Structure formats: structure tokens, C-alpha cells
Amino acid sequence: MRHVRESLCAATLIAIAGTASAGDIDVMTQNQYLGADITPLIGAIGTEGFNDAVVTALEHIAENRSQQRFAALAGLITRRQPHLVGLQEVWKFECVPAAPGLGGYPCNDPGIAGAFNDHLAGTLSALGTRYRVVAQVQNFSIQAIGPYPGIYFEYNGAPAFLKVQDRDVILARSDVTTTPVDLRCVRKSEDGCNFDVDLPLGALGSVQRGFMAVDTAIGGVPYRFFNTHLEVQGNTQIPGGIQTAQAAQLIDVALNDTPANRRLIIVGDMNSSPNDPAYGPTTPTPYMLFSMYGLYDIWDLRPGAAPGMSCCQMEILSNRVSVLNQRIDLILSREMPRKVKEARLLGEVAADKTRPPGNGLWPSDHASVAAKVQY
């Protein structure tokens, strides 16, 4: 009976969404946030403080209550009903106890147990039948280190192993037909590609990131839709040239391999703002590259002058007042649209926080960005 109700609800929402112009495509980008700032963890690799950094990250992920946030993030999608959604930071965390005689401890300790979730499975469960995965790419992943089943850590003196997996995903509404695109790249990953340039992590390998695309037709208009997540902005630990090289590869594949008769839309967490300065005379930011190669920033084409800041809330998502101050989640188009409608942030107001009111969490440290585009 529950499945019947879900199907009826999905059909009703799709019928409502279908009242838009047949020439409009509604798209959305949403960084789901793993639940912790891992910059200190990266800095602690190879040091005596590494175990403490792992534990702190797990405690913060648990404190950010992933299960509640899955429902809140899914709610943003179902209320908007876009045709296509690009998700980033779709993580999976698993804990393997290293001492079987401890009855699952420390993995089941309340201080960290909430960290161990499959964010994709949780999101799909919350979405019901309304959306499905149509393409994904596996990015950073540690399933084993040598003979060990993951990253070794200790919690309250008890040993365990941590398995991690980061994915980017494209979701399609249940009435939208899509085909994954076989993209040109050396490093194939699931339905897409990993970038040629990674952030090295020493003994833990590297931070792989990637991109994927699907073809679809909305109202008889053919589209190619890309989703990606570029490396974070350059800082004392991360060379800025990494994200610039990734953006250059994305642009090369997207612009040169997308047929002229298809409208090209690229969404993602670009980790690059219109206000970021160049990294040097020969190293522009990703946003600069997007502009140089003629990609249109959809937010700039919307009516009005809303700043569109989409990042970032506090690490623990309980801050009462939004502190979003960067516009790094972007929707880009190769073709100039005739009109951009209903371009807005989602998940950026207190009403979108998880319950209870006044003590809830932001759905993510990023706001989602959505737009209805007419060509």
C-alpha cells in the first residue's frame, strides 16, 4: 500500500511540474556535505595526531545527523521537481571492528555510530519513486590499505577500520529518459571519468574527483547534462593549479565532444567564485576559465541582483543564522538562453532546517542552486 501511495504522489508532483513550458529544462546542483571539515585530517596524515583527527571527523559527522539531513535534502528536490539533479559529496562511511570479541565496539559507540551511513542509499530512500540514479562516478575511495580493510583508528582505546567512498551522482525525475555518455578520458570510473590531476595524500593515495554526463530530451529539445566537483581552492596545503587543471579537462571534454545540436549544461560544486583572484599570471581560477571559453553563468542571467551565495555554513550545521558567503555552486551553459526563470537557492533559510525548530541543522553546508532555463 505504501508503494501505491508513493507512486500516486510522484505522479501528482510530476503532473504539476509538467505545467511548465515544454521548452524549459529545470536543473539543480546540490552538494550534500560529508558532515565534517577534513582539512585538519589531511594535514595530520603521517603525524602522531592522525588518529585524533580521524576521531574528531567521525564525531562531527555523527553530530551532523546524516539521516535527518538526507530527508531534508530530498525534500528540497521533491518540492522543486527539477528534471535533472547533480549531487556532489555523496559519501559512504563504514566501520569494521578490529576486535570481534568486543561485540561491534567501537563502531557502535554512540559518539561515532551515527557517522556510518550510505548517503546515496539514504537519499534514494527519502526520495521514494520520484527520482532514480542515471549516472555516477566514484571519486576518493579507501576500501583497504595493504592487508587491512580500511583506515586503522582507535576510539577510546578500541581498534577499528574505516572504509570511505565519495561519489558524484546524476538523478533524473522518474518521467525523464536519459542515456549515460561514454566520455573521452583515460581514467574511466563507473559512468564517468576521474580527472587526470589529483590532490596527493601520501599513504592514503590521492583525492580523486570526477565528472559524468547524460543525454536527454525535454520538450523535444536535446540536452547534454554534466555534473562535477572540482578540488577546493588553493591554500597552504593544496596547490591552486589542481582545480584549474581539472576545470580545463572538463571544459575540453564538454565543449569539444558535445554535438552542436545538443544544448550543453554543466552543474557542480566548482569551488570557484567570480571574486576569487588568479593563482598567478599563468594559472587562472576555474571560474576565469569558464568565462574565457564562453560558458554562460546562469545565475548572472536571472532577473534581479540577488548575490546567490551558496557556501558555506559552519562545520557543525547548528548555526542559527546563515553564514553563506561564497558563490561556488554553479550552473553553466554553452548556449545563451532566451530566458532564465526561477533561478534560486534552496536550503538557505531557517525554515529548511531539520527539526526541531530552533535546534535543527542546515541540510548541508552548501545551499542548493536550481534554475529553469529556456532556449
Cα gap 352→73, rounded to integer Å: 9
The answer to whether residue 14 is domain-embedded is no
Tell me the mean pLDDT in the region 354-374. Answer: 93
Across-strand partners of 133? 171
Q: How many domains, the chain?
A: 1
- Residue 101, all three cell numbers: 570479541
| Distance of alpha carbon 310 from alpha carbon 340, whole angstroms | 18
User: pLDDT digit string (tens) for 191-234?
Assistant: 999 999 999 998 888 999 999 999 999 999 999 999 999 999 98
Residue type, 98: A
Residue 6 domain-assigned? Answer: no
Which pTM does this prediction carry?
0.92
Q: Which of 61, 63, 71 is nearest to 91 (CA)?
A: 61
For 284, counting Cβ atoms within 10 Å of its Cβ (0-12 exposed, 13-18 middle, 19+ buried), the class is buried
Give the count of beta carbons closer than 10 Å to the beta carbon of residue 97.
Answer: 17
- To the nearest 10°, report the CA torsion of 108, 313, 344, 84: -30
User: Residue 332 corresponds to which amino acid?
Assistant: L
Which of the residue ranges 6-15, 198-207, 258-267 has the most confident prediction, judged by mean pLDDT? 258-267
pLDDT at 19 (0 to 100): 44
Q: Output the nine-digit C-alpha cell for 95.
A: 566501520
User: Grid coordinates standing for 373?
Assistant: 532555463
Say which CATH number the domain at 324 has.
3.60.10.10
Asked whether residue 16 is domain-assigned, the answer is no
pLDDT of 6 over the 50 cut: no
Coil/strand/helix, residue 181:
coil
Domain containing 168 equals 21-374
Which are the contacts of 350, defined by CB distance < 8 A and separation ≥ 6? 320, 322
Do the bridges between strand 84-97 and strand 24-31 make them parallel or antiparallel, or are there none, so unpaired?
Answer: parallel
3 domain-assigned = no
Give the gyration radius of the chain's Cα atoms: 20
- The per-residue pLDDT for range 74-132, each reduced to its tens digit, is 999 999 999 999 999 999 999 999 998 899 999 999 999 999 999 999 999 999 999 99
Tell whether 10 is covered by a domain. Answer: no
In a domain, 210, yes or no: yes
Its sign, for the CA torsion 306, 26, 213, 166, is positive
